[in-house]
C-alpha cells in the first residue's frame, strides 16, 4: 500500500483536497467521509504490466493507494464533488455545521476521467 501526498486548502465555504493517483481508472477509486471528521481515499490497481516479459527499470508503481486525513472542519460528504482527471483526484467538500458521512464512487464520464457530482457549489465540465 502506497502512502500518497496531498494538498488540502480551504476557502470560506469548502475544503479542497488534491491527490495524485497515477495509473488508475475512475472506478478504481473510493472516497469516504466518516462521521468522525476523517477523509479516506483509496485506489486499487487492476491488471498491471500485462504481457511484459522483462521489466528493466521499476522506480515507481501504480495503485494500491491509501490515505486517511483528519478534516479541520465538519463537511457534508453527500454534497461533495469529486473529479479524477490526468491522474489527479480532486475532492471538494462543502463546510457544514455537522459532518455528513458518505461513500463516494466516481462515474466514468470520459476516457480515464471520472466524477461524483454532489453539487458542492461549482459545476464541473469535462
d(CA 46, CA 11): 35
Contacting residues for 69 by C-beta, under 8 A, at least 6 apart:
6, 8, 17, 38, 39, 40, 41
Which domain range does residue 38 map to? 2-45+62-117
- The pTM score is 0.79
pLDDT at residue 10 in the model: 97
d(CA 51, CA 126): 32
Does any domain span residue 51?
Answer: no
6-15: pLDDT as tens digits: 999 999 999 9
Considering its fold, how many domains does the chain have in total?
1
Q: How far is CA 123 from CA 2, 57, 65, 68, 126, in A?
A: 31, 41, 27, 26, 10
Over residues 29-41, mean pLDDT: 96
pLDDT at residue 32 in the model: 97
Over residues 106-111, mean pLDDT: 81
pLDDT at residue 86 in the model: 87
pLDDT at residue 64 in the model: 84
Does any domain span residue 92?
Answer: yes
Residue 121 binned pLDDT confidence (cut-offs 50, 70, 90):
low
50-104: pLDDT as tens digits: 666 677 787 766 768 899 999 999 999 999 999 999 889 999 999 999 999 999 9
Does any domain span residue 124?
Answer: no
pLDDT at residue 70 in the model: 97
Does any domain span residue 8?
Answer: yes
Positive/negative CA dihedral, 69, 8, 16, 59: negative
Read off the CATH number of the domain in which 15 is found. 2.60.40.790
Q: Is residue 49's pLDDT more than 70?
A: no
Extended strands (E) in 1-126:
2-3, 7-10, 14-20, 29-34, 38-43, 65-70, 81-85, 88-94, 102-105, 107-110, 113-117
Does any domain span residue 25?
Answer: yes
Amino acid at each position: 500500500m502506497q502512502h500518497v501526498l496531498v494538498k488540502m486548502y480551504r476557502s470560506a465555504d469548502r475544503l479542497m483536497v488534491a491527490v495524485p493517483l497515477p495509473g488508475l481508472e475512475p472506478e478504481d477509486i473510493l472516497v469516504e467521509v466518516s462521521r468522525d471528521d476523517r477523509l479516506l481515499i483509496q485506489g486499487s490497481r487492476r491488471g498491471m504490466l500485462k504481457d511484459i516479459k522483462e521489466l528493466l527499470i521499476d522506480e515507481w508503481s501504480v495503485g494500491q493507494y491509501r490515505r486517511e486525513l483528519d478534516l479541520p472542519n465538519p463537511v457534508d460528504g453527500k454534497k461533495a464533488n469529486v473529479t479524477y482527471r490526468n491522474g489527479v483526484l480532486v475532492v471538494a467538500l462543502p463546510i457544514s455545521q455537522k459532518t455528513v458521512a458518505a461513500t463516494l464512487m466516481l462515474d466514468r464520464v470520459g476516457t480515464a476521467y471520472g466524477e461524483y457530482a454532489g453539487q458542492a457549489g461549482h459545476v464541473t465540465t469535462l
